[in-house]
A and B are shown apart, each in its own frame.
Chain A
Amino acid sequence: ETGVTQTPRHLVMGMTNKKSLKCEQHLGHNAMYWYKQSAKKPLELMFVYNFKEQTENNSVPSRFSPECPNSSHLFLHLHTLQPEDSALYLCASSQDKGLYGYTFGSGTRLTVV
């Protein structure tokens, strides 16, 4: 365990379902991130939160809705997804600046059927 916990590990959902991914860290970090990792593509940054405020949204479709109630928790709410949204969704946290990089969770493998 790295200190960043993601649940669930695997998720299969239909295109009409609503589900949520959860990320939790108790490392004292004040920035949290959602990344999408698809096969043979670079990791795509989706959202950035600094001190609970969203500071970046990389043109993510509205069917993905993030929520950051506090600095330790980050959610990604999913609704009416498409099969091409199937991917590994990685959460990470960090100090807002500096050289220490990110601490990642193990990801949620999402399959949309």
Chain B
Amino acid sequence: AQTVTQSQPEMSVQEAETVTLSCTYDTSESDYYLFWYKQPPSRQMILVIRQEAYKQQNATENRFSVNFQKAAKSFSLKISDSQLGDAAMYFCAYRTGANSKLTFGKGITLSVRP
């Protein structure tokens, strides 16, 4: 069975600084996709960034980038120039290429200090 592990329950970052959120996963599949979702207090789950396992290049979306280490099954999210609006819960998620089911980690609460 696939599992997604986010071992840090909470993190804090100073505004304008950089923070990295950790995620590891376990799978025997070769074709899969990884995602980071953000859930602010409004409860809306918003897709932040995604990565295809077959791509070696790390995905980037503006201030958000990932460090995808396929052999280590690690998928961390880096947020640069942190903003107050980045404060939220962040979920790492996984799905195979053959199945629509998305498996989530427990999430991490990120706070941003002004």
Question: Of A40, A42, A97, A104, which contacts B105 at CB under 8 A?
Answer: A42
The answer to whether the Cβ of A56 comes within 8 Å of any Cβ in the partner chain is yes
Complex CA distance for A75 and B73, rounded to whole angstroms: 36
- Is there contact, CB below 8 Å, between B43 and A48? no
Question: Of A43, A88, A94, A106, which contacts B104 at CB under 8 A?
Answer: A43
The interface residues of chain A, by DSSP majority, are classed as loop
- Is there contact, CB below 8 Å, between B91 and A88? no
Stretch at the interface among B19-27, B60-68, B92-100: B92-100
The answer to whether the Cβ of A111 comes within 8 Å of any Cβ in the partner chain is no
The residue in chain B whose Cβ has the minimal distance to the Cβ of A94 is B100
**Residues of chain B with a CB closer than 8 A to A45's CB:** 101-103
**Residues of chain B with a CB closer than 8 A to A94's CB:** 100, 102
The answer to whether the Cβ of B45 comes within 8 Å of any Cβ in the partner chain is yes
Q: Scan B8-46; emit 1 where CB is below 8 A from any A CB, else 0.
A: 000000000000000000000000010101000011111
- Is there contact, CB below 8 Å, between A88 and B97? no
Chain B min CB distance to A23 (Å) = 13
Complex CA distance for A96 and B105, rounded to whole angstroms: 21
Chain B min CB distance to A28 (Å) = 15
Interface size band for B: 20 to 34
**Residues of chain A with a CB closer than 8 A to B93's CB:** 101
The residue in chain B whose Cβ has the minimal distance to the Cβ of A95 is B100
- Is there contact, CB below 8 Å, between A42 and B98? no
The residue in chain A whose Cβ has the minimal distance to the Cβ of B3 is A42
- Is there contact, CB below 8 Å, between A97 and B97? yes
Known: A42-B107, A99-B33, A101-B33. A2 touches B102 (CB 8 A): no
Known: A42-B106, A48-B101. A100 touches B50 (CB 8 A): yes
The answer to whether the Cβ of B52 comes within 8 Å of any Cβ in the partner chain is yes
Chain B residues packing against A (C-beta within 8 Å):
4, 33, 35, 37, 42-47, 50, 52, 91, 93, 95, 97-107
